[in-house]
Amino acid sequence: MKKKEKKNESEWELTPQQIVAELDKYIIGQAQAKRIVAIALRNRLRRRRLAESMREEVTPKNIILIGPTGVGKTEVARRLAALVRAPFVKVEASKYTEVGYVGRDVESMIRDLVHQAVNLVREERCNQVREKAEEQAVERVIDLLVPPLGKRKSTMAATPVTYEKTEAQDRLHSEAREKVRTQLLAGELDDEAVEFEAKEQPMPMVEIFSGANMEELGMNIQDMMQNIMPGGGGSPRQRRIKVSEARRQIVQEELNKMVDMAEIKSEAVKRVEELGIVFVDELDKVAGREQNRGPDVSREGVQRDLLPIVEGTTVNTKHGEVKTHHILFIAAGAFHVSKPSDLIPELQGRFPLRAELTSLKAEDFKRILVEPRQALTKQYKALMETEGVELDFTQEAIEELAQVAYRANQLSEDIGARRLHTVMERVLEEVSFNASEMPGNTVRITPEYVQERISNLLKDQDLSKYIL
């Protein structure tokens, strides 16, 4: 137990500087936002080291990220969660409505978070025993291809008939199994057909449409049906399938035997309560000032329904009760029309930290094209390499692409880094279309190449009709 605790502790030994350095690999600029989320994550580790009496009193300092679209608000939160494998869910505030209106119940975000946590923990547990499960699967597939010598199916008897083994038979049988094992591990038998007893998955007899206030009703229906019909209601049936498919199904069966779902659910709930991150996007859409009439009647109602979740409450899920007191909430919005001060005071108080993300400049676009681990230029090079075509971007071409994206955002709607996708697609449209016909060629992307393909765009002030 101590060894496990030590492993979990070392997993979270990330200093704020290291967290920012990791985020820098994927997100350009936005230093203030990175520092704030890094401190928030580090405070979680600090809290875990406190005495039990003090630990319960220390609550997360929730964050509002303010900035236009496409500057990295969602990416900062997503990469932060992925960095430490914390349960993470992204929701949009505009999809929730107050009780009594059509829309999702705000508590559903916590149920979604628990669902993500269960999948996350199950994946971790399966990875720990996958090697053993694959070994068991290999043995079972070999048994299908070369049945054990002591039991052979008889066409005249309903039950297996036992034969007396001799030393020579045993030796030949072992050699045959080893030969099959070698071929199986080498993938030579993947396309061979084998008789496999697979369990049929029943068609669902009841379907629950989960809408406003319906989630509580439908939460445990599937579990109830599985309890009524042991084994999920499926009946085993002999099927003739490929060895590769049989092996995959057997690995899954072995993993299901080896992992304890009750333990996984318990760990998932604990991880959500201690480490969960909820990213609430489009908070500005429910921050408008109330009108006596009109379509915005429920905006303040959404805020009031969000308040207890952010403040700390207990949500009932099919995996158990979840306390939201220590979940980290990161909200985001452009706040072009409304302001954070338009939120109800109680909700403002639950988001004490705010970071403003700046619009991207030409220099930022230049760095985005080449610096991140999965930069756009690297992605397009990899895509064209699959066709045998090499793309060669000159430094001047990178600068030209950055300038085009920056100017397009100035002349049209500012959509941030997403503008680079449309610019790159337009510039590389001809290469992408003809790549299959030009293997072995090298295409050099120069400033002239870029200008030639977007010259018409730059002449037109209304770029929106061409670029997004």
Binning pLDDT at 50, 70 and 90, where does residue 223 land? low
Q: What is the token pair recorded at 240?
A: 């003739």
Whether the Cβ atoms of residue 203 and residue 225 lie closer than 8 Å to each other: no
Q: Does domain 362-465 have CATH number 1.20.1250.20?
A: no
Domain boundaries, the chain: 2-117+265-356, 123-264, 362-465
- Please indicate, yes or no, whether the overall pTM of this predicted structure exceeds 0.75: yes
The residue-averaged pLDDT of 137-165 equals: 65
Model confidence at 143, pLDDT cuts 50, 70, 90, reads confident
245-271 burial code (b ≥16 CB/10 A, e <16): ebbebbbebbbeeebeeeebbebbbeb
CA distance 227 to 350: 41
Question: What are the pLDDT digits (tens) for 443-462?
Answer: 999 999 998 888 766 555 45
d(CA 420, CA 428): 12
CATH placement of domain 2-117+265-356: 3.40.50.300
30/301: higher pLDDT: 30
Q: What DSSP line would sit under 106-165, residue for residue?
A: TTHHHHHHHHHHHHHHHHHHHHHHHHHHHHHHHHHHHHHHS--TTEE--SS-SSPEE---
CA of residue 249 relative to chain centroid, distance = 24
Q: What digits encode the pLDDT tens for the residues 84-112?
A: 889 999 999 888 865 545 567 888 999 99
67: helix, strand or coil:
coil
> CB atoms < 10 A from the CB of 236, how many?
11
Helical ranges in 342-417 per DSSP H: 345-349, 362-370, 376-385, 395-411
> Residue 296 — very low, low, confident or very high, per pLDDT cuts 50/70/90?
very low
- Give the mean pLDDT of the chain: 82
Burial class for 368, CB neighbours closer than 10 Å (0-12, 13-18, 19+) = buried
Q: Which of 420, 427, 416, 422 is nearest to 384 (CA)?
A: 427
